[in-house]
Amino acid sequence: MIQIYNVSKAYRKDAAALSELNLKIPKGDFVYITGPSGAGKSTLLKLLYAAEKPSRGQILINGQNITRMRGRRIPELRRHMGIVFQDFKLLNSRTIFENVAFPLEVQGKKRFEVSKKVFQTLKLVGLEHKLQSLPLELSGGEQQRVAVARALVVDPLVLIADEPTGNLDPDVTLDIMGLFRGANARGSTVLLATHDREMIRRFPRRVITLENGRLVDDRMP
Amino acid sequence: MERLIYFIRRALRNMRQCLFLCSVAIGTTAVALTIIAFFAIVVLNVQQLTADWSRQVEIVAYLDTVPDARTLQGLHGKILALPEVESVDYTTPEQAFSQFRKRLGNDADLLSGVDPDILPASFEIALKPLFRNQAGVDTVVTRLQKEVGLNDIKFGREWLEKFESFVALLKLGGAVIGGFLLFAALFIVSNTIRLTQYARRDELEVMSLVGATSMFIKTPFLIEGAIQGALGGIAAIVGSFVLFRLFLYESLSSLLLASGSGAIAFLPLSFQGLLLSAGVFLGLFGSLMSLRKLVRV
Ligand SMILES: Nc1ncnc2c1ncn2[C@@H]1O[C@H](COP(=O)(O)OP(=O)(O)O)[C@@H](O)[C@H]1O
Ligand SMILES: [Mg+2]
């Protein structure tokens, strides 16, 4: 459950990236966040994974107020999240296996637990045969699948994706969407920022539309 | 423990990937510490030798007339009663004369027909170790003049003064130059580690996004700093030993061992340990400084 109360964010004075936002997202929901470029989609997601603090208002995730959270508690919050970006953010000097293992390594998980889980997750995204490759040896679609695997390896409560298919071909986009829908089916709450109208038409879900930092539309299919 | 090994492995991997930067940091630390070690070698040796020499520091008080037995005993007692004095030896004119004759060696016949009484009787006064310095000598001389009534006094005052100020100058120079270099090394180490952080900013960002604690992110950099510092310290010990062997040993010997006593020594083990810890401290502190400004996602 994500609750957003009267949240505003201004990076600079007199230029609000988000204003007076109110939202409730139930556990297990699948939500598109859409709107033109500069509407505040990325900002909203950053507030959710605590990379930015709201200028005003409160955000609660599973009842925990993350706007009041101390900096040292943020890692714990993120360990239950999976985050996917348009530009993948893979570590190019590490193998696919190491990239997917990274969140578990960071959490100090035991070695054998890590290997098993990483292998399972790579199989889920269909890349178990590439685990020794380096990211730059893969196609864009494959790289994004690795990034999704890295997000899913922790069984996230919340999966956050910021234009994850913005750089990908339509058929690859279908693959990635399949992965998000699968994760949602297994119980993750999914928040997906996109301006791909076609994708929303094809897989209709709740759509939140932002414009100039304001919520202008929130509709169920 | 397993965790520590993991962090060390990560630190070593960081260092391998930024080999050049890393060598610069180690090199700077090494140079700074070597120069400090260099000064320390000189200062320690000069101090050691002046300590050896000062054991021979004596005050000689000459007497106008040869005293009779009772006066002699009185003077002797008075001098010995001074708190700074360790021992007193009385030399009669005859003894002084024969010593003089000995020193002349083959030319001793120059003295034939000369009356031994031309040389004065004297007290040779040795000071307790604590007072074998300029201040001690001054006190004793004043007391001999005022309390015992001896006026014709000789002592190695200028000689002592010169050496004391030489040692002080060396210490000051070492402290100033060494301090400056340490500061430069600290600056360079912290900036090197900041550069390696910059080179790894993608990794740091991802780490933070997948929930790494700040301890997890920072520890390898601290270890990297400590390793760099330790390597710099070891390089400084080796470097100053090479310098010592090639160059310092000879020049110090010719400068200090004219009297033919004592030996020139390298830094004692405790000081080498100090040098190593200074390196580690430098590295740790340098990386701590750079981590304060670490970008947070
Ligand atoms: N780090 C930042 N500093 C200053 N302004 C920013 C920053 N990030 C975003 N903005 C501004 O906030 C507004 C919303 O941006 P963003 O959330 O990235 O929009 P979107 O993701 O919908 O394209 C834009 O006007 C953008 O210029
Ligand atoms: Mg955006």
CATH number at residue B81: 3.30.70.3040
**Is residue A132 a contact partner of residue A146, using CB atoms and an 8 Å limit?**
no
- Check residue B157 and give its pLDDT: 57
Are A106 and B17 within 8 A, CB to CB? no
Q: Which 3 state secondary structure label does DSSP give A45?
A: helix
Q: Which amino acid is at B7?
A: F
Predicted confidence (pLDDT) per residue in B9-33, tens digit? 888 988 888 888 889 889 988 998 9
pLDDT of A104 reads 96
Q: Chain B within 8 Å of A73 (Cβ-Cβ)?
A: no
- Is the pLDDT assigned to residue B210 strictly greater than 80? yes
Position with higher pLDDT, B245 vs B47 = B245
Residues B187 and B66 in one domain: no
For the segment B144-151, the average pLDDT, to the nearest whole number, is 82
Smallest CA–CA distance, residue A75 to chain B, in Å, is: 4
Task: Give A59's strand partners.
Answer: A4
Is the pLDDT higher at B108 or at B39? B39
Task: Check CB contact under 8 Å for B297 and A51.
Answer: yes
Give pLDDT, residue B151.
79
- Return the amino acid letter for A117: K
**Do residues B189 and B65 share a domain?**
no
- Predicted local distance difference test score (pLDDT) of residue A127: 95
Same domain, B247 and B108: no
Which pLDDT does position B54 carry in this prediction?
Answer: 62
Q: What is the DSSP letter of A216?
A: E
A153: nearest CA partner in chain B? B210
**Residues B170 and B147 both lie in one domain:** no
**A87: nearest CA partner in chain B:** B202
Which residue's CA is the closest to the ligand 1 atom numbered 20? A38
The mean pLDDT value for B214-236 works out to: 92
CA distances from A203 to A91, A151, B140 (A): 31, 21, 104
Please tell me the distance between residue A35's alpha carbon and the centre of ligand 2 in angstroms: 10
Q: How far apart, in whole angstroms, are the C-alpha atoms of residue A46 and residue A191?
A: 12
Which one of A51, A103, A108 has the shortest CB-CB distance to B210?
A103
The list of chain A residues with pLDDT below 50 reads none
Do B210 and A76 make contact, defined as CB atoms within 8 angstroms? no
What is the SS3 assignment for A25?
strand
Mean pLDDT of all residues in chain A?
94
pTM: 0.74
What is the residue range of B100's domain? 58-154
Q: What is the rounded average pLDDT of the residues B186-215?
A: 87
In this prediction, residue B296 has a pLDDT band, given cuts at 50, 70 and 90, of low
Distance CA B62, CA B118 (A): 12
pLDDT at B69 over 80: yes
Please tell me if residue A79 touches chain B, with a CB cutoff of 8 Å.
yes
Domain match, B19 and B137 both: no
- Can you give the pLDDT at residue B138? 81
Q: Which of B86, B119, B154 is the last residue of a domain?
A: B154
- Which ligand 1 atom sits closest to the C-alpha of A213? 14
| pLDDT confidence bin for B264, thresholds 50/70/90 | confident
Question: Please, is B110 exposed, middle or buried when counting C-beta atoms within 10 Å of its C-beta (0-12, 13-18, 19+)?
Answer: exposed
Q: Is the ipTM of this complex over 0.90?
A: yes
Domain endpoint, select from B102, B124, B154: B154
Name every protein residue with a CB atom under 6 angstroms from any ligand 1 atom.
A 11, 17, 35, 37-43
CA distance B166 to chain A (A): 55
User: Of the candidates B202, B210, B297, which has its C-beta nearest A106's C-beta?
Assistant: B210
Mean pLDDT value across residues B269-274: 92
Among candidates A72, A81, A89 on the partner chain, residue whose Cβ is nearest the Cβ of B206: A89
Beta bridge partners of B87: B126
Number of domains observed in the structure of chain B: 2
Query: Is A154's Cβ below 8 Å from some Cβ in B?
Result: yes
**Residues B167 and B254 both lie in one domain:** yes
Q: How far apart are CA B161 and CA B54, in angstroms?
A: 12
Residue among A190, A199, A189, A191 at smallest CA distance from A168: A199
User: Which of A145-149, B29-33, B133-137, B225-229 has the least mean pLDDT?
Assistant: B133-137
Burial status of residue B257 (CB atoms within 10 A of its CB: 0-12, 13-18, 19 or more): middle
B207-225: average pLDDT = 91
Q: Which of B46-50, B150-154, B208-212 has the highest mean pLDDT?
A: B208-212
Ligand located closest to A11 CA: 1
**Which of A72, A91, A154 is nearest residue B202 as measured by Cβ atoms?**
A91
* Total residue length of chain B: 297
**Residue B131 pLDDT > 90:** no
Q: Is pLDDT of B48 > 60?
A: yes
pLDDT band at B134 (very low <50, low <70, confident <90, very high): confident
DSSP 3-state helix, strand, coil percentages of chain A (rounded to 5)?
35, 30, 35
- Euclidean distance between CA atoms A126 and B83, whole angstroms: 93
What is the distance in A from the centroid of ligand 1 to the CA of B218? 29
- The answer to whether A156 faces chain B, any CB pair under 8 Å, is no
Residues B209, A83: C-beta atoms closer than 8 Å:
yes
B173 and B289, same domain (yes or no) = yes
Domain end point (choices B154, B179, B201): B154
Look at residue B105 and tell me whether its pLDDT is greater than 70.
Answer: no
Same domain, B8 and B65: no
Residues of chain B contacting A76 with CB distance shorter than 8 Å: 211
Same domain (yes/no): B91, B136: yes
| In the predicted structure, residue B57 carries a pLDDT above the cut 70 | no
pLDDT at residue B130, rounded to an integer: 80
Biggest CA pair distance of chain B: 105
pLDDT at B262: 61
A208-217, B26-35, B138-147, B205-214: range with lowest mean pLDDT: B138-147
| pLDDT for position B1 | 77
d(CA A83, CA A42): 12
Same domain, B286 and B169: yes
In chain A, what residues touch B209 (CB-CB under 8 Å)? 49, 51, 78, 83, 89
Contact B210 A102 (CB under 8 A): yes
* Residues B175 and B43 occupy one common structural domain: yes
Q: Which of B212, B296, B297 sits opposite A106 (nearest CB)?
A: B212
Tokens 């030798």 belong to B49
The ligand that comes nearest to the alpha carbon of residue A210 is 1
For ligand 1, atom 13, which residue shows the shortest CA distance? A17
Dist. CA A104–CA A90, nearest whole Å: 15
Band (pLDDT 50/70/90 cuts) for residue B104 is low
How many C-beta atoms lie closer than 10 Å to residue B20's C-beta? 9
**Which pLDDT belongs to residue B295?**
52
Q: How far is B7 from chain A (nearest CA, A)?
A: 11
Instruction: Tell me whether residues B214 and A72 touch, CB distance under 8 A.
Output: yes
Task: Summarize the confidence of residues B149-153 as an average pLDDT.
Answer: 80
pLDDT digits (tens, 9 = 90+) for B32-43: 899 888 888 888
Assign B156 a pLDDT band (cuts: 50, 70, 90). Answer: low
Q: Average pLDDT of B68-86?
A: 86
The reply to whether A76 touches chain B by the CB within 8 Å rule is yes
Least reliable range by pLDDT among A80-84, B68-72, B148-152: B148-152
| Residues B137 and B208 both lie in one domain | no
